[in-house]
Amino acid sequence: MLKKITIFLMIAAFAVSSSNAKDMSAEVDAAAQKILPKVIEWRRHLHKYPELGNREFKTAKFIETELRRLNIEVRTGVAHTGVVGIIRGGQPGPVIALRADMDGLPVTERSDLPYKSVEKGEYNGQTVGVMHACGHDTHVAMLLGAANVLVGMKDKIKGTVVLVFQPAEEGPPAGEEGGAYLMVKQGVLDNPKVEAIFGIHISAGMPIGHIAYKPGAAMASSDWFTIKVKGQQTHGAYPWAGKDPIAVATQIYTGLQMIVSRRTNLTASPAVITVGRISGGVRENIIPEEVTMAGTIRALDTEVQRDIHEQMRLTVAKIAESAGTTAELTIFNAAPVTYNEPALTRRMLPSLEKAAGKDRVTLANWVTGAEDFAFFQEKVPGLYFWVGGMAPGTDPSKTAHHTPDFVIDDSRLDVGVKAFCNIVFDYPG
């Protein structure tokens, strides 16, 4: 109830202040255009030298150097390698945060770009190629561009802007905490006290110069699960002498899909259960004692998410029991639902339209991809939106994120810079 009252008061403040706010979009446009070549340069440097989650040491130093050059107050070492910059405006007002994620992925780049990544890293004990295969390099560059523009207009800012450069959005290494969850845990939104947060994601499948947004549930929750099925080992020629965990695992797999297809109202909210790994056994003619299954759950409604968890526990336990085996289910929540507070989204829509042009801002469908930006949104109202990065003439079906061939057209990153800056000036002070 308290959160609803706070949001209502925030909306009322929007209505009162918006009529008195000076439109800064023309000045923002000019400044963003001027800084664009530098934004592209930063982005390409970061693309060439990506780092994995919780290991973004060079990236963090690069960001810190740029912020200190602007005489911005800087905090480092937040959630391991995170960097926070604080711009205190020339006039009193609210505290809002702008966020960009920093980490790359364990992917080997396959492009022929002159700034192609050739970096290596260690992931789960293996040496892997590292690539910005999801565009986090563009996010950092756009936020650095916004920092430059905002510092140049600092006397006109009402309130304080917190620049959040977040590590490990793709997940921390095994056995470590990280990402937005750890930043929130360490108080990144508390000092100064942030009342709203805004984030950008580049979209390889949306034309450059465009913006898309989605009120309410925008991106899915992400749960990772492991199922260990324990049976009784026996010779493959005499299956009746043991209890086959492989056969049980196949039944559990089918049962999990029945949860989505037959027990979830997909017209109200999409959901996905995917088993991505099944392992067990060492020899063709030996039925093993144990099989491990692992996968992910995606939901766009927290009630549906909780119901799927319960249905999975029941399904796994009963199928295993029916075969005389046991099964242990473990579920880890990697990210909640990314939820754009509807009133905040409506209020800031004109800021996005100023950045891209009204005819280039569209309402998006929800997606079953996930974003740990949602941890910030659990703490304060937030808006997360997409900026186009697809070159003209590109086939959208060949622009998948998280692949070796992921490519972004960075010629219109000024749109993201303008969106961030317009939000700052349009948010009521």
Render pLDDT for 288-316 as a digit per residue (tens, 0 to 9): 999 999 999 999 999 999 999 999 999 99
Start-end of H helices in 49-165: 57-69, 136-152
Residues of the chain with CATH 3.40.630.10: 19-214+364-426
pLDDT in the model for residue 429: 65
Distance CA 79, CA 67 (A): 18
How far, in Å, are 42, 294, 373, 399 from residue 206 at the CA level? 22, 32, 21, 9
Active site members: 103, 169
Residues of the chain with CATH 3.30.70.360: 221-334
Could you tell me what percent of the chain has a pLDDT over 90?
93
DSSP letter assigned to residue 412: T
């620049």: which residue's tokens? 163
Q: Is 114 within 8 Å of 47 (Cβ atoms)?
A: no
Pick the CATH number of 221-334 from 3.10.350.10, 1.20.1730.10, 3.40.50.2300, 3.30.70.360: 3.30.70.360
pLDDT in the model for residue 21: 63
Architecture label for domain 19-214+364-426: 3-Layer(aba) Sandwich (3.40)
Q: What is the pLDDT of residues 218-245, one digit of tens each?
A: 999 999 999 999 999 999 999 999 999 9
pLDDT in the model for residue 117: 98
In three-state secondary structure terms, 424 is helix
